[in-house]
């Protein structure tokens, strides 16, 4: 009987939506800033608006923008973006993951899955980037007239081993520094796999551009990957559930975090090579 | 820049061999890396050095027997096919 009662609302629910198209099953990505933002009067693309408008932006600036012509608006926006990129952008878009809490006592159970949390690591992009990287190395070898089917396999193995190397590095560091974070192995793997995106960009640029452009692209992508990991792996190195860490330990952990970020540059160099 | 899985396996085996070959009395005790380190008061959790010592001793106790077999296998393989 109780089983039937459980089914009942579902049966009622079904025809309700059969007339109109059913809503999307996955939740809408949470862009709190983006949604709360009123449409700004500037003609720049929306991605820039998201970065440049603080959540409670200074209204006087907005008012000034209304009176200026579009070129000045663009200029102001670019300047504002450049100035605020370091501070405001970081503040208004949190990089930490949302915590899933138990419904009974509010205890932390883990982290929310990627479809409820935009900051959650997800293996989709890394896996796609990995495959793309392997194929792209084949193309690069082809342009140098060195292509052989073995190249793909060798590059895939190397890339996989580089990811594994980084995983071992992080896990060993966590052990040596007594970081008792229950980060899942696959989460770390996803974080490690994001560096393939920068590598792909560099490789694609290297197909068409002269050397210095490639160098600049590599430096930019490597440092942005490092910065991304620096921000994202904070919760791995400093799990807030633990008791307060003393100063030398904290310093050591920060150094470890920087080591991970620096490792990105080295590993990406090996990947690009 | 390309590794094979075989080379990586060799690297792992050689590194573990290197850890396992460290002698307790002749080497580790001499540089003060032997046994259990006393925990001082006011230190939360074991220190970095303590962890390394623990890791080395764990590798030495746990992996000694399997390493014999693995090393034998690699040696025979290298003699026959390498």
A263 domain residue, yes or no: yes
Q: Domain range holding A65? A: 26-92
Residues A167 and A256 in one domain: yes
Q: Whole-angstrom Cα distance, residue B61 to residue B16?
A: 12
Which neighbouring-strand residues pair with A101? A108
Contacts of A177 in chain B (CB under 8 A): 48, 51
A40 and A158 co-located in one domain: no
Digit-by-digit pLDDT tens for chain A (273 residues) are 444 444 444 444 444 444 555 555 655 555 554 444 444 454 444 444 444 444 454 555 555 555 556 666 666 666 666 665 555 544 566 777 777 776 777 666 677 777 777 778 888 999 999 999 999 999 999 998 888 888 898 889 889 888 988 999 998 888 888 777 677 888 888 989 999 999 999 999 998 888 899 999 999 999 999 999 888 888 888 776 555 667 777 888 888 899 999 998 999 998 888
> What are the sequence ranges of the domains in chain B?
5-35+46-81
Number of domains, chain A = 2
With a threshold of 0.95, does the pTM exceed it?
Answer: no
Are A146 and A65 members of one domain?
Answer: no
Contact (CB<8Å) B48/A177: yes
Report chain B residues whose CB lies below 8 A from the CB of A158.
Answer: 1-3
Residue of B1, B46, B55 lying closest to A270 (CB–CB): B1
């Amino acid at each position: 009987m109780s089983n039937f009662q459980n089914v009942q609302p579902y049966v009622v629910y079904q025809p309700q939506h059969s007339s109109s198209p059913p809503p999307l099953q996955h939740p809408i990505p949470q862009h709190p800033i983006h949604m709360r933002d009123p449409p700004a009067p500037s003609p720049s693309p929306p991605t820039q608006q998201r970065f440049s408008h603080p959540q409670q932006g200074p209204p006087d600036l907005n008012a000034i923008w209304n009176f200026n012509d579009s070129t000045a608006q663009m200029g102001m926006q670019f300047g504002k973006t450049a100035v605020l990129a370091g501070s405001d952008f970081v503040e208004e878009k949190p990089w930490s993951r949302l915590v899933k809490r138990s419904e009974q006592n509010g205890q932390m159970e883990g982290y929310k899955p990627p479809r409820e949390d935009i900051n959650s690591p997800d293996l989709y992009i890394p896996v796609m980037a990995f495959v793309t990287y392997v194929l792209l190395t084949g193309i690069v070898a082809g342009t140098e007239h060195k292509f052989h089917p073995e190249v793909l396999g060798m590059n895939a193995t190397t890339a996989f081993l580089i990811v594994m190397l980084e995983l071992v590095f992080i896990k060993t560091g966590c052990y040596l520094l007594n970081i008792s974070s229950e980060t899942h192995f696959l989460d770390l793997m996803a974080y490690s796999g994001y560096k393939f995106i920068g590598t792909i960009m560099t490789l694609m640029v290297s197909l068409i551009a002269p050397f210095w452009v490639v160098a600049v692209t590599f430096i930019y992508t490597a440092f942005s990957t490092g910065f991304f990991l620096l921000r994202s792996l904070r919760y791995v190195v400093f799990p807030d559930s633990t008791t307060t860490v003393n100063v030398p330990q904290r310093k050591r952990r920060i150094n470890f975090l920087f080591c991970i970020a620096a490792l990105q540059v080295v590993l990406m160099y090996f990947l690009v090579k | 820049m390309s590794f094979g899985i075989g080379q990586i396996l060799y690297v792992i085996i050689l590194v573990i061999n290197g850890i396992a070959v460290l002698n307790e009395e002749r080497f580790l005790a001499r540089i003060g890396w032997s046994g259990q380190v006393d925990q001082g008061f006011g230190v939360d959790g074991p220190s970095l050095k303590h962890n390394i010592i623990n890791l080395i001793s764990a590798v030495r106790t746990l992996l000694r027997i399997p390493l014999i077999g693995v090393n034998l296998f690699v040696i025979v393989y290298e003699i026959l096919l390498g």
